[in-house]
Structure 1
Amino acid sequence: MNSRDDHSQMTLSISAVERDTGIGKDTLRVWERRYGFPVPGRDANGERIYPMAQVEKLRVIKRLMDQGHRPGRIVALTIDALQHLSRGEATLQTGRAMEAAHIRQDLVAYIAMLQTQDHEGMRRELFKTLSQHGLQYFVTEVVAPLTFMVGETWARGELAVHEEHLFTECVSSLMRQAIVAIPKPEGGGEPVVLLTTFPQEAHGLGLLMVESLLTLQGCRCVSLGTQTPVRDIAQAAIAHAADVVALSFSVNMNPNHVVDGLMELNLLLPDSVEVWVGGGASALRRRQIERVLVLHDLHSISEAVSHWHRHKTSSESKADGWS
């Protein structure tokens, strides 16, 4: 048997695979359950072991993820398809740049519609995008960057307050309609998420974007709207048997109000309730607060939900006496 054959027969433990590929153990287990890959064997102690062929495929997957690919779209591909995709990445990057430029042109067109009071045209084009691409794309690729662009344009004095309000109402109504149309999950087991903002935070568009993506993830969302007193948030979480309280903070939120409010909320909530926070507030990145999970962007919502499911499964297994 030559050295190449020896190499092909090797296996690595899950810890070694994590070190070799840079893909975490928890992620490997989630992919195994969700995508059917990797497919580890078991050693004499029942621990996962991975053939080198699978490790090599995981290396290519990690390289593609670092270049911007999402695991849900590539994990199930064959190694040949992955290598072909990797070799063609330069072409794909060019395509992405062209797509990004096209998206920006659309965003600029929406701003022009606002400035010319063409709210019907703006609503029509936004609805077309939502219908063609779905709610997730609409939220992450259109509403989120367009909200930022609207804010910048308003700050430069190129949009009136009533025009900014019109934009907010238009995209909010479209997202609410789309949320209602999402089929409700059956069988239970999904997290109940209570959404709101602190009394000092009047901006609710970010909260609605989060609700849209959480609903797509199968969560049962209870929205209180904006500006809810901290004690009322805790009372509502208990009344609705919430598993998670999700809060949105805009960039203008006073850092002291953010930190003090979260610390007070921690004292009032049952230990079983998680707190997820997101938005542009600088306080969320300056200081780590116990039991508070910071969602750095909209794309991290799906991972937060997956983590909640893993934690719940682990807790239930321990309660049943499993190791």
Structure 2
Amino acid sequence: MTNTSPPPLAPHTIADVERDTGLGKDTLRVWERRYGFPQPQRDSLGERRYTDDDLTRLRHIRRLIDAGHRPGQIVPLSLERLLALSAGTTPSAAGRMQSVGDGPADTSEVHPWLDLLRRQDAAGLRQALVRMINEKGLARSLIEGVAPMNVLVGQSWLEGRLAVHEEHLYTEVVQGTLRHAMVALQPPARPPRVLLTTLPGEQHALGLLMAECFMVLEGCHTIPLGVQTPIPDLVKAVAAAQADVVALSFTAAQNPREVRAALDQLRELLPPGVEVWAGGACPALYKPVRSRTMAPGRGRAFWPLGRLQDIPLAVSRWRAEAGQPA
């Protein structure tokens, strides 16, 4: 009688996959039921476990979604077909971690930053970013430095040349440096009062912070709430802060119908005078707005902001319509 050992348990939990890819646990479960992928193993407690191949395939799926593909078109595809699609896909400057971005950018200037990151040289990376801010100013540094670096980090992560902990180190260094720069450069705050957050299921904060930098440079009074604020809590926060604008970010991994439904719900619950600004890589934000997304007597359901450079224009428009000095 031959004793056969059970196959080794897959190494990644669903929480590991969520942290690595940015794909939410609910999204993974829905894809499992709807598209038949992923099909994780189960441990002795019934918890899902994912293989290295599952993780690689999900990384490529995430990249293609960020480039505008629909989940239903790509989630069922084999890794070979995903690689073929990826070969013809140019990553956007929004990147995996950035929710508000610009067009494709030249990454040559920030390639040395990647070497610093691989050496775990957080101080060197911070100094390089501070040097650029001092030389170019905060706005140009975001567009010419941070945005292309996001592309480079995301591509390196996808190709397995950058570990997850290195990506996390990059995010922490950039967030800390940008927050310090905002404090150092912040002009006297005046309207609009802008409350910034993401809705549940959207955990990426770097793009939101980059947008806040642009708003601070425009003299806005910003109120950051972090990420994943439930809509009822968000509505209460708007009232407590007497906010004029709610700024939200959505990555391309978010379900377009759910994004539009959430914006509709938020618009219905907010006072008529509070605007909603929505930015990020989710294609649903930039499609023509159907009449059902317009709340009667409330004007636009939301203002889409596709690029960081759109923020100064949005602030100028708001001030002109509110009778505030430019």
- TM-score, normalised to structure 1's length? 0.62
* Correspondent of 1:123 among 121, 126, 129: 126
Cα distance between partner residues in 2 of 1:282 and 1:124: 35
* Correspondent of 1:306 among 300, 316, 320: 316
SS at match of 2:309: helix
Question: Which residue number in structure 2 is paired with residue 280 of structure 1?
Answer: 281
Cα distance between partner residues in 2 of 1:118 and 1:151: 18
Q: How many angstroms does 1:255 deviate by? A: 1.7
Matches of residues 175-186 of structure 1 in structure 2 within 5 Å?
A: 175-185=178-188
SS at match of 1:195: strand
Question: Which residue number in structure 1 is paired with residue 261 of structure 2?
Answer: 260
* Correspondent of 1:296 among 280, 303, 306: 306
Cα distance between partner residues in 2 of 1:281 and 1:178: 28
Cα distance between partner residues in 1 of 2:255 and 2:160: 24
Higher helix share: 1
Q: How far does the alpha carbon of each residue in 1:290-310 deviate from its partner, in whole angstroms, 9 at most, with x for none?
A: 321001100111100010011
Q: How many angstroms does 1:235 deviate by? A: 1.1
Q: How far does the alpha carbon of each residue in 1:81-128 deviate from its partner, in whole angstroms, 9 at most, with x for none?
A: xxxxxxxxxxxxxxxxxxxxx963222111222223222221221111
Q: How many angstroms does 1:231 deviate by? A: 1.2
CA RMSD of aligned residues (A): 1.9
- TM-score, normalised to structure 2's length? 0.62
Matches of residues 43-192 of structure 1 in structure 2 within 5 Å?
A: 104-185=107-188, 188=190, 190-192=191-193
Q: How far does the alpha carbon of each residue in 1:194-237 deviate from its partner, in whole angstroms, 9 at most, with x for none?
A: 00000110000001001000000010000000010011111111
Q: How many angstroms does 1:180 deviate by? A: 1.2
Question: Which residue number in structure 1 is paired with residue 226 of structure 2?
Answer: 225
Q: How far does the alpha carbon of each residue in 1:123-143 deviate from its partner, in whole angstroms, 9 at most, with x for none?
A: 221111112222111212211
Percent identity for Structure 1 against Structure 2:
42
Q: How far does the alpha carbon of each residue in 1:272-315 deviate from its partner, in whole angstroms, 9 at most, with x for none?
A: 0000011111221234243210011001111000100111129x
Decide whether aligned partners of structure 1 residues 162 and 287 sit closer, same or farther in structure 2, where only a CA change above 3 A counts: farther
User: Does 1:206 pair with 2:216?
Assistant: no
Cα distance between partner residues in 2 of 1:150 and 1:253: 21
Cα distance between partner residues in 1 of 2:154 and 2:253: 12
Give the counterpart letter for 2:230 in structure 1. P
Cα distance between partner residues in 2 of 1:143 and 1:287: 30
Q: How many angstroms does 1:267 deviate by? A: 0.8
Q: How many angstroms does 1:257 deviate by? A: 2.5
Cα distance between partner residues in 1 of 2:305 and 2:152: 21
Which shifted more, 212-221 or 174-183?
A: 174-183
SS at match of 2:321: helix
Unaligned runs of 5+ in 1: 1-101, 317-323
Give the counterpart letter for 1:226 in structure 2. V
SS at match of 1:206: helix
SS at match of 1:210: helix
Q: How many angstroms does 1:149 deviate by? A: 2.1
SS at match of 2:252: coil
Unaligned runs of 5+ in 2: 1-104, 295-299
Give the counterpart letter for 1:237 in structure 2. V
Larger radius of gyration: 1
Which shifted more, 247-256 or 290-299?
A: 247-256
Give the counterpart letter for 1:154 in structure 2. W
Give the counterpart letter for 1:197 in structure 2. T
Cα distance between partner residues in 1 of 2:257 and 2:160: 29
Q: How many angstroms does 1:147 deviate by? A: 1.2
Question: Which residue number in structure 1 is paired with residue 54 of structure 2?
Answer: none
Q: Which has the higher contact order (CA 8 A, sep 6+)?
A: 2
Give the counterpart letter for 1:131 in structure 2. N
Cα distance between partner residues in 1 of 2:146 and 2:254: 21
Q: How many angstroms does 1:170 deviate by? A: 0.5
Q: How many angstroms does 1:172 deviate by? A: 0.4
